A and B are shown apart, each in its own frame.
Chain A
Amino acid sequence: MQPGTLSTFLKRGAIWGFIVLELIFFSVAGEFLSLSEKAFMDFDNMLLLFKQSAPIGIIAMGMTVIMINGNIDLSVGATYAICAIVLLDAMSWPVFAGLGDAVIPVAWLLALLTGVALGALNGLIVWKTGVDAFIVTLGSMLGYRGLVFMYNGEQPTSHLNWTLVDFAEAQFLWLHTATWFLLIVTAVIWFLMNRTVHGRNAYAIGDNREAAVNAGIRVGPHMMINFMIIGFLAALSAVVFYSESGSVNPNDGELYELWVITAVVLGGTKLAGGAGSIVSTFGGVLAIQLLRKGLAHIGADTSTVNLVIGLILIAVLFLDRQLNVKGKEELKI
């Protein structure tokens, strides 16, 4: 075995091993601790788990792209809330009154365009000012959230369209609509990152920006496209979720950015950029959702769930660092 093979194997496969471990643990613990009669690995329960993974999962795919590219986007939660408001509010706008149910695709389109525009704004600022994406999106996180509150104050924005609810609750081949969206997004983003020139250049930029510049790759436009992708996906996530729920609170989507980043990092994407895998992010999303659901199943409350996830995240990153130490000659800083 070549040096590095083991750590590569651990890194690639770790998240799936972790998921198996979770499944076993919660199945066994559930037998003794759960108040419910049903087994944890009940088929319907698992289908529900996929569905509940979708809102975070769809955004996490975009975040993987952004982080591979060497950036980060903290504004996804606020973007998500804005797009939800656009979606629900647009359906009651007088302009579209004559459309009937044809308003649905129009509202979807508007919400998605909003997401792309907000992402493009982030990307443009990062590109043109050279300010770190962390700072730019920290600002836009606050700013976009401000827009949400300006729109309707503390009041929720609601509009329930039963055609839409039916669509969102439909199951095709057992899987819910939201699950399908998650799977399709995962496949498309995987294809983008592994098969297209844009995707490979995004890897190169995140890995060694100077080398990318030396090779004549135009760094700025690539970064902007990636911010538009994550904006689009935050909007898509909102569209999928709020088509069903029909009501958005101005606080919705808060801390989403952190859950998303947690899932991506658990999936093995490097914070520094250049390395990461879409499939592993999918695993990270499932692992977090399993933890939340499993701990709830055995009777733990939300605060315990957060504590456990936090501990696991730090443990994973520590393990990753141990596997990546370059050797004893390394400069100690």
Chain B
Amino acid sequence: MTDDTPALRLEGIVKTFPGVRALDGVSFSVMPGEVHALMGENGAGKSTLMKVLGGIHQPDAGKIIVGERPVVMSGPLEAKAKGIVFIHQELSLAEELTVAENIYLGELPRKRFGLVDWDRLYARTDAILKKLKVSFDARTRVGDLSIANQQMVEIARALTVEAKAVIFDEPTASLTDAEKVVLFDVIADLQSAGVGIIYISHRMEEIFKITDRISVLRDGQYRGTLDTAETTEEEVTQLMIGRSLDLSRNVSHHTLGDVALEVRGLSCGPLFQEIDFEVRSGEVVGFYGLVGAGRTEIAETLFGLRDPSAGSILLDGAEVRINSPADAIALGISLVPEDRKGQGLVLGMNCRDNMTLPQVDDLTAGPFVAEGSEVAIFDQYRDKLDIRTPGWKQLVGNLSGGNQQKIVIGKWLSMHPRVLIVDEPTRGIDVGSKSEIHNLIRDLAAQGYAVIVISSEMPEVLHVSDRIVAMYSGRIMRTFTSDEVTEDNLIQAISGIRSTGRVA
């Protein structure tokens, strides 16, 4: 650390969205020449904080201080002008344009009359690319690069201006080990030039390798800052998860039936590889991992939305081919999708019609839809799942999140599936309804359904699962029974650390 004035300081940042306090008085500071890690679970508020810093959201309260002056960020260009550079996690690139144009997006060097100064643009870009030791040049079309190289283009943006602070948001998510070394060199260079670096990552090994201090967010609140040299992974993990949450594990075990679904060596290109697992009827298997670990993609493959590139799927011991959702439904596999409103429901239709959507072809009286049997089905599952709605005519768009989710679940139960896949069952659902959905999932398993629950919330997987599959970048790291799982070994497994011996 070169002097005592922080390069960037945040004081008491508050940001609320309707119904959610996304950031609740967050303060922390980055010294010049420091690599400061920002950690927290999915949804802890890291992204929102970065959006506030980048001027995409305005904070409701609090101050942003660059150097010694408080500033108001009105937009990304202003943030950049003040020396705050973002390296986004999701690639923020225009594929049809060249590498050089992407790196200088929004501030192409100009000659007179608004002409692009191509010579200067290419010269500067090539200089930057040389520092990054990449194999492509300034004139390459970004769409022709691999994802890893595209990430390097994104990183190159950090070197275009005299930055005071650079924010790296999960920069290594798609990099190979060799490219990581280059990235860490870049970070070291920036560091020695006195730039403050905020490094957002879930990967403990990286955090401990390159950062000086670690700040932790949880549920939108600042939880403290640790000196990397004086802390341990356990301490950080503990700070991230906290004790306030209900981390009780599932203890009830019902007698398990036969293997309902078995997956052997399932791969789908770069999305996931060599996936092996089985689910017995009466069992809840939780899939836990970071966003992008490949969990949803496995569900989509099982549901016929993607074609696997290798491997086999066995239902009740017999190998099946699933080419479309229609095949999956016919075989008794149902998917309650991640995005309830976008993928699970037709919001403008009423409760009954949503519930009978997959089977309305069969519910006919002559050429017409048999309204009576539709209503009968709706009534049956409304009572069974305790869906609170004034009547079947209510549009599902007007129901609460919890009741909407029950409609989706009811829709699939009415198809009498063998295997029920539930992706992020309680996303955007309030706390009370959450436990109701959790109990429902347990009940369904008790009735003999084979259930797969995909979740990014640790309390949720711990709570509902008989076994937990931990995934990390497209691979299964380890499978835990609910007796052997702990928060620590689970977090380590999904961060790619194989320290605790046994591997699934």
Contact = CB atoms under 8 A, between A and B. Distances in A.
A2 B108 CA distance: 29
Interface size class of B (residues with CB under 8 A): 35 or more
Most buried by A among B93, B106, B113, B268: B106
B107 interface: yes
Interface string A208-225: 101111111100000000
A73 B101 CA distance: 27
Most buried by A among B56, B108, B268, B304: B108
Contacts of A210: 92
Interface in B72-108: 75-78, 80, 86, 88, 92-97, 101-102, 105-108
B78 A197 contact: no
Interface string B244-279: 000000000000000000000000111100000000
Interface in A289-333: 327-333
Contacts, number: 94
A160 B250 CA distance: 89
Interface of A: 2, 4, 195-198, 200-201, 203-204, 207-208, 210-217, 274-275, 327-333
A330 to B, nearest CB: 7
B152 to A, nearest CB: 16
Interface in B276-331: 300, 304-307, 309, 324
B114 interface: yes
Contacts of B269: 327-329
A197 B305 contact: no
23 contacts: A2-B144, A4-B144, A200-B97, A201-B108, A203-B97, A212-B106, A214-B54, A214-B86, A214-B88, A214-B92, A215-B76, A215-B107, A217-B105, A275-B96, A327-B269, A328-B307, A328-B309, A329-B307, A331-B300, A332-B304, A332-B306, A332-B307, A333-B305
A208 B97 CA distance: 10
Contacts of B143: 4
A210 to B, nearest CB: 7
A48 B343 CA distance: 54
B115 interface: yes
Contacts of B92: 208, 210-211, 214-215
Nearest to A199: B116
Contacts of A204: 94, 97, 101, 105-106
B110 interface: yes
A144 B393 CA distance: 43
Contacts of B94: 203-204, 207-208, 211-212, 274
B95 A208 contact: yes
Nearest to A195: B115
Contact of B96 (A197, A201, A274, A328): A274
A215 B106 contact: yes
A329 B309 contact: yes
Contacts of A213: 76
Most buried by A among B75, B76, B105, B270: B105
Nearest to A192: B114
A216 B78 contact: yes
B95 A332 contact: no
Interface in B87-141: 88, 92-97, 101-102, 105-108, 110, 113-116
Contacts of B77: 215-216
Given A200-B101, A214-B86, A274-B95, 20 more contacts: A2-B144, A200-B97, A203-B94, A204-B101, A208-B94, A208-B95, A211-B92, A214-B88, A215-B76, A215-B92, A216-B75, A216-B78, A216-B106, A217-B105, A274-B96, A329-B268, A329-B269, A329-B307, A331-B300, A333-B305
